[in-house]
Amino acid sequence: MKLYDYAAAPNPRRVRIFLAEKNLEIETIQIDIRNNEQKSEAFLKLSPLGEVPLLQLDDGTCISQVNAICRYIEEIHPENPLFGRTALEKALVESSNHQLNMNGIVAVTEGFRNSNPMFEGRAIAGPNSYAQIPALAERGLLRVDHLFRDLEAHFAASEFIIGDYFSVADITAFVTMDFAGWIKKTIPEDCVNLQRWYDQVNARPSSNA
Amino acid sequence: MKLYDYAAAPNPRRVRIFLAEKNLEIETIQIDIRNNEQKSEAFLKLSPLGEVPLLQLDDGTCISQVNAICRYIEEIHPENPLFGRTALEKALVESSNHQLNMNGIVAVTEGFRNSNPMFEGRAIAGPNSYAQIPALAERGLLRVDHLFRDLEAHFAASEFIIGDYFSVADITAFVTMDFAGWIKKTIPEDCVNLQRWYDQVNARPSSNA
């Protein structure tokens, strides 16, 4: 297996942290998104949509999308499960992970791609061109403010996203916190419970991945 | 188990079709979203975010989000799997289902909620108020056009979203096609392969759910 990766970007990092939590090391190949290497002829042969991260299996099959890659890894390395241990826990992880992706990763991405001149004409990742929408960049900032408040309330009563169980949903939320810095948003000082959780996750060896 | 449902809305329908494909019948309770019943005191006790669909287990536990509900059902009723049969197939279903949700359900939702006067001040579902963004409504229309073309190309070479295997990703795409009618988008006449797939899925008994 090989992971097509870009060290600076949040979505590949979610996969790297997942792998580190599983104590797995796999070969990574850097695709320089900043210089549009994901649109090179060579890479488009692997991923027609130019998607990074991308997992390539030994037979050449490619899997795109963070959660699809992580689920594949969970299937072939089920020990130390991160998508839940029971039917109910799996459902709660899926639900929270989806909401955190939408209200976290997607919200920051909207804030970033709709304001940074580098993404002019490509406000949505992929082959189609979409103009930037300044109001969407503004809304991204507002959504991150709401997310901080929602997570502060959550962590006042819970160690992790799902009770005392560390899951892939914590990885999504954790990477969102660092990614928010790209639109100059950091955990507000009065969000002490959110900060406690962040420090706890940040102290795990996987956070360096 | 009970499903809090709203017959007219696309996301609850995804769950109902999933249940029908599993040959399961469960009690459903209608929550009239059009009249904001999801924000009633009684419903917010079940779902603090006012989410429909919502699955309530016999012990009172609630599960929100379409894919979380469907995964729970898949876990407790694994026969006739719709999330994939092998590790690889599970990954491919997850990847496609996610992309179809983003490029289909989310794109149409953006088109609809950012243009319909009924959603003024609530362009995103949930407890926080977000202003409508007209440019986002326009972009929704454009994304649906791209989706029709992408699916036409896909179904020229494939029976379903994942080869000859009918999966939850087909349900997501199928519901998107009908939902697109809410923003006056219908499958273009020259998308004959997309139409062939649509007719095939529409002929399944589950499509009436």
Per-residue model confidence as pLDDT tens for chain A (209 residues)? 999 999 999 999 999 999 999 999 999 999 998 888 999 999 999 998 899 999 999 999 999 999 999 999 999 999 999 999 999 999 999 999 999 999 999 999 999 999 999 999 999 988 899 999 999 999 999 999 999 999 999 999 999 999 999 999 999 999 999 999 999 999 999 999 999 999 999 999 999 99
Task: Point out the residue among B65, B133, B136 whose CB comes nearest to the CB of A98.
Answer: B65
> In Å, what is the CA distance from A124 to each residue of A120, B38, B40?
10, 31, 36
Q: Which helix (H) or strand (E) holds B55?
A: strand B54-56
Per CATH, which fold does B2-76 belong to? Glutaredoxin (3.40.30)
Our CA-based measurement puts residue A130 at a distance from the nearest CA of chain B, in whole angstroms, of 8
A106 to chain B: closest CA residue: B102
CB-CB under 8 Å, A135 with B98? no
In whole angstroms, what is the distance from residue A177 CA to residue A198 CA? 8
CATH topology of domain B87-208: Glutathione S-transferase Yfyf (Class Pi); Chain A, domain 2 (1.20.1050)
Whether A146 has its CB under 8 Å from any CB of chain B: the answer is yes
Instruction: Return the domain boundaries, chain B.
Output: 2-76, 87-208
Please say whether the dihedral angle defined by the alpha carbons of residues B151, B157, B161 and B167, taken in this order, is positive or negative. Answer: positive
**B128 contacts A139? CB cut-off 8 A:** no
Whether A2-76 shares its CATH topology with A87-208 is answered: no
Q: What is the pTM of this model?
A: 0.97
Give pLDDT tens digits for B137-167: 999 999 999 999 999 999 999 999 999 999 9
